[in-house]
Amino acid sequence: MKSINNQNTINLFFIFIFNIIFHFIPFERSIISPDTFSFFSNEKLGILNFLYNPDRPIEFIIHELEYYFLNYNFNYHFYYLIFSTIFLNVIIYFFFENFFKKDQSLLLSLLFSILPFKIEIYHSSIYAWINIIESIYILSILLFIKYTKNKVNLFYIISIFLFFISVLGRESGIFLPIALFIFIILFIKPINIFSSFILIIPYISIILFSFILRITGGFFHTDNMGRNIDIQNIPSGFYDIFNIFLGRYLFKNIIYGLYQFINIPYFLILIFLLINILIIILFSFKYLKLNSLKIDFNKKIFMFFLSIFILSLIPNLIAGSIGGRNTIIASLFISLVFLYLIKYLNKYISIIIIFITIIINQGNAYTHVLSLRLASSVYSYLDANQKILNNYDNIVIDTNDFSKNIEFTLVTNKYNVLNTYYGAQTFEDWGLDAMVNLNLDQKNTYISSGGIKKTDTFHKILIYQKIGYNKFTEKEILLPVDNTFIINYEKVFKNNLEKR
């Protein structure tokens, strides 16, 4: 028992250290995300979120708790984000440990950590609660599995409670009870199928409660029902899923990760390369011995993980879109496939693939730091110039001017006006608007993504308004010169940043 505990302690230490090395160097997140700013500006409803935000009441409650405990302390939010990712990877490790040996579970959890299509979950504060909710989903499954093996009723009760929290936080794992039933069929082999189905009934009841709460608008308190459920969305959902795992979203993260890695300061590149080589040596020849990895293909395990993969993607399939954050649970299966790939590939090819994947993550981590520095610069400008800005009724943030002075993409998109910096969320209208409202008295805020033309009396502001998934409309607004303040690249950076 002591040796097992020691092994777990060592493995958890590796998970902690590698999580930092892969995703949080430079050790900085200089501001919270646009979404966090926006959520913090909402009315605080507490338990009433079940009535007025019935699609995801737990999400809104979590954000309110973040507001009360973390407020606008950006460092606290950074530590919270780190905690959420470590918590996720630890839960992943113990989940894998139910099916594999400890060393294999560690490797699987590390492979999970570096999968390139879900890199955004390490970016900023808004992903912390997502990481925690997805962890709770996985923990719910884990405790159910523990219950079927050990018959400890407390595991079953906690599993049901955690599923309740998860479903009312995010709908990503709402179909996972089907995977629980599949687990029973594959591994427990019950004599009576119906008696096994009874175990799933509490989970189904929670799903029905969530569905009724949503479609009735919190029992007729609101028209807000969350993401639209429409069969017509399914084709675009399939298209997005393909792009996430095999298409342009995946290659975008790979290309931007490699591109940004070579733009990291040379001294830091050297440190990264030395650390990465040490990691590869440690895991290839000493600790996990990738050159002699012994793992047999298990059809039952493969089918169970495949069921988790499929069921966790269905909500996004119906909604018609998916982001990297929506693939956390599905990544359990992808990690398993990654491990099988390593086993059957040539040893040196496997090592090269892992080494490059680590670099991709570190390059994207550097992007995360820089993207938030840009947003932080605008926030700092607003904070430092409150007296001047409060003399004007109209505040315009000219993101078009920022985009002309800062290189931020390798692929031109008219409507990506520094919304992302090499793939990482940067300027979002709702976030910038919330920044203005936080720092200034009540103002009319405009985000000029299309540019500004000035006459003697008016500023002509061109705005790109999002009207749907990847759909925009253009709108011109005239604002008086004498009552409008324009925030642009030159004012924020005062020529301290060179064009890149």
Q: What is the mean pLDDT of residues 258-263?
A: 97
- Per residue in 82-119, pLDDT (tens digit) is 999 999 999 999 999 999 999 889 999 999 999 999 99
Non-local (6+) Cβ contacts of 319 within 8 A are: 227, 228, 229, 233, 237
pTM given for the model: 0.94
Mean pLDDT value across the chain: 92
pLDDT of residue 112: 97
Measure the CA–CA gap between 227 and 318, rounded to whole angstroms. 10
Measure the CA–CA gap between 454 and 450, rounded to whole angstroms. 13
pLDDT of residue 480: 96
Measure the CA–CA gap between 39 and 112, rounded to whole angstroms. 29
Measure the CA–CA gap between 237 and 326, rounded to whole angstroms. 12
Q: What is the mean pLDDT of residues 315-338?
A: 92
pLDDT band at 293 (very low <50, low <70, confident <90, very high): low
Identify the residue with better confidence: 348 or 94.
94
Whether the pLDDT of residue 420 is over 80: the answer is yes
Distances (CA, A) of 462 to 50, 133, 274, 397: 38, 39, 49, 11
pLDDT of residue 499: 36
Measure the CA–CA gap between 65 and 294, rounded to whole angstroms. 45
% of the chain at pLDDT higher than 90? 79
Distances (CA, A) of 55 to 49, 52, 213, 326: 9, 9, 7, 16
Q: What is the mean pLDDT of residues 440-452?
A: 94
Q: What angle do CA 126, 416, 487 make, to 5 degrees?
A: 80
Nearest residue to 152 via CA among 142, 162, 163: 142
pLDDT band at 498 (very low <50, low <70, confident <90, very high): very low
pLDDT band at 63 (very low <50, low <70, confident <90, very high): very high
Measure the CA–CA gap between 477 and 26, rounded to whole angstroms. 41
pLDDT band at 191 (very low <50, low <70, confident <90, very high): low
pLDDT of residue 294: 72
188-197, 285-294, 429-438: the lowest-pLDDT one = 285-294
User: Strand, coil or helix: what is 447?
Assistant: strand
Whether the pLDDT of residue 253 is over 60: the answer is yes
Measure the CA–CA gap between 428 and 36, rounded to whole angstroms. 11
Pairing of strands 458-468, 451-454: antiparallel
Q: What is the mean pLDDT of residues 251-266?
A: 97
Is the Cβ–Cβ distance between 64 and 19 less than 8 Å? no
In DSSP notation, 97-138 reads: HTTS-HHHHHHHHHHHHH-GGGGGGGTSTHHHHHHHHHHHHH
pLDDT of residue 3: 62
pLDDT of residue 393: 96
- Per residue in 10-58, pLDDT (tens digit) is 999 999 999 999 999 999 999 999 999 999 999 999 999 999 999 999 9
In DSSP notation, 359-405 reads: HHHHHHHHHHHHHHHHHHHHHHHHHHTHHHHTT-SEEEE-HHHHHHH
Is the Cβ–Cβ distance between 244 and 117 less than 8 Å? yes
Measure the CA–CA gap between 164 and 170, rounded to whole angstroms. 10
pLDDT of residue 451: 94
- Give the start-to-end residue ranges of the domains of the chain: 11-365, 385-493
Whether the pLDDT of residue 289 is over 70: the answer is no
Q: What is the mean pLDDT of residues 381-396?
A: 96
pLDDT band at 495 (very low <50, low <70, confident <90, very high): very low
pLDDT of residue 287: 55
Tokens (6 digits) for 22: 């892969």
pLDDT of residue 291: 54
